[in-house]
Amino acid sequence: MIWKILFGVTAILAQILQALAAPTLDSQLTSQLPGKYVFAHFMVGIVKDYQLSNWKEDMAAAQSIGINAFALNCASIDSYTPTQLALAYEAAEQVNFKVFISFDFAYWTNGDTAKITEYMKQYASHPAQMQYKGAAVVSTFVGDSFNWDPVRQGTPHPIYALPNLQDPADATTGPAKSADDYGESHYIGPYSAHHSDDGSSQWAANMPHDGWRNLFKPYIAAYKSGAKTPTVEVDEVVYWYRPTPKGVVCTGDILSAPMGANMLSDSVFVATMLTSPATLTVQSGDNAPVNIDVPAGIVTSNVSMGIGGQSFKVTRNGQTILSGQGGLAVKDNCVNYNFNVYVGSIGG
């Protein structure tokens, strides 16, 4: 599924993505809720066919890296929203996770008070509802001018309305910013064929981003503990790269390369998560191997992208401690443009 981390960890997301998208966030880790909660944004609008088990799998993946709740982004136009919301709340209750609704005001309007109140009456006291100080958390996407007072009056449970739940990473990634996630490639949930095909399968299928979760986990832990830097317990590398260099002309696409594509760097990125310093060796396609001395902790290095297979190795004191092949070869030809990245990991 396509979900991504919000709030505090968004700064981390941006930090990791700075390699991919030129402008970056330089913000402190902040949370809009006092306390250390980490939420992931989940687009309910593209999971028409989700079953209870799909929800539970996604929630387990989120829980395993320290995410507390899903902000369930709901459009008003989807007939299956009530069904999927019910499944999400039920799944969350079963796996001891939390959820809350984020009304997407690209679709909802300030006149929808009655409908929004109905949803809050239904879910505000649900066992899986994310509560803050005894009040049900609810948010909007670009719905800052919505008046919650009548909803509060109509709901027999306190409500904590979070301000506009916009993802700061979106605001920094330029023209792709929109009310949907399809044009973005920041998903970190397991990719599932169960979401309706809005076209994103073109670039999201077979392009896993799961490795990024391994990378977020220590940052989320550090955020929650108040540590300045993440702690690495096991040596691991997480790598990512696009399937073709930016200049390759794809032969079968009715569209041309997306705006901003030429700003990208033809690089292979490797985040080393190391317990002590080591040497990273990357051989990208037909390029000569590149050795990089990397310190302990989490550091992102890059090498120029070469056509062909990608191989990664970490050595320490003359011993190879990690090695593996990238899960996707870089090609110098393509049918359709795909500027998404393949994310993989070795070790861990």
Ligand X SMILES: *[C@@H]1O[C@H](CO)[C@@H](O)[C@H](O)[C@H]1NC(C)=O
Residues near ligand X (CB under 6 A) are 19, 265, 267, 302
Tokens of 192: 């599932």
What does the CA dihedral 44, 45, 49, 50 come to, rounded to 10 degrees?
A: -10
**Cβ closer to ligand X: 63 or 265?**
265
Question: Shortest Cβ distance from residue 183 to ligand X (Å)?
Answer: 21
Strands 267-274 and 159-161: unpaired
Nearer to ligand X, 21 or 75 (CB): 21
Residue type, 244: T
265 or 311: CB nearest ligand X: 265
Residue 266 near residue 304, CB atoms below 8 Å: yes
The region that residue 331 occupies, defined by phi over 0 for left and psi between -120 and 50 for alpha, beta otherwise, is: beta
For ligand X, the closer CB: 45 or 243 = 243
Q: Whole-number minimum distance, CB 63 to ligand X, in Å?
A: 31
Rounded to a whole number of angstroms, the minimum distance from the CB of residue 14 to ligand X is 13
How many other C-beta atoms lie within 10 A of the C-beta of residue 280? 22
Minimum distance of ligand X from residue 265's CB (angstroms)? 4
Give the side-chain half-sphere CA count within 13 A for 272. Answer: 27
Tell me the two tokens of residue 199.
């076209």
Min separation Cβ 206 and ligand X, Å:
24
Please tell me the distance from the alpha carbon of residue 302 to that of residue 270, in angstroms, as a whole number: 6
CA–CA distance, 312 with 322 (Å, rounded to integer): 8
> Based on CB atoms, which residue is closest to ligand X, 19 or 314?
19
Q: Closer CB to ligand X, residue 84 or residue 272?
A: 272
Q: Which residues contact 82 (CB under 8 A, 6 or more apart)?
A: none
Closest separation between CB of residue 272 and ligand X, Å? Answer: 12
